[in-house]
Amino acid sequence: MKAYEMTIENLNKCPGNQMRDTEIREIETADLDAYVQGLHKDKKVNIDKETMNDGSVVYHLDLSGTLVRYTFTEI
């Protein structure tokens, strides 16, 4: 298992409010893909995965119009 800092960003699509809700957690997992899918197992979700140059992994989720971004940085 690896330890990660996970940043959760709930992106607001309302044009009058560009603020985003952000939360930071420390998690341990052996499989990031399974971890992210497990967070939304009861919902229809589109997931795009991106690996950054610094090694962090970013998941972009579309939850039926609600956009969420998870960023995982190994600690």
Residue ranges per structural domain of the chain: 2-74
Tens-place pLDDT, residues 18-58? 666 899 999 999 999 999 999 988 888 899 999 999 999 99
In CATH terms, the fold of domain 2-74 is Rossmann fold (3.40.50)
Could you tell me which residues are beta bridge partners of residue 59?
Answer: 49, 70
On whether the CB atoms of residues 11 and 63 are closer than 8 A, the answer is no
Q: Does the model's pTM come out above 0.75?
A: yes
On whether the CB atoms of residues 67 and 13 are closer than 8 A, the answer is yes
Our measurement of the distance from residue 57's CA atom to the centroid of its chain's CA atoms, rounded to an integer in Å, reads 9
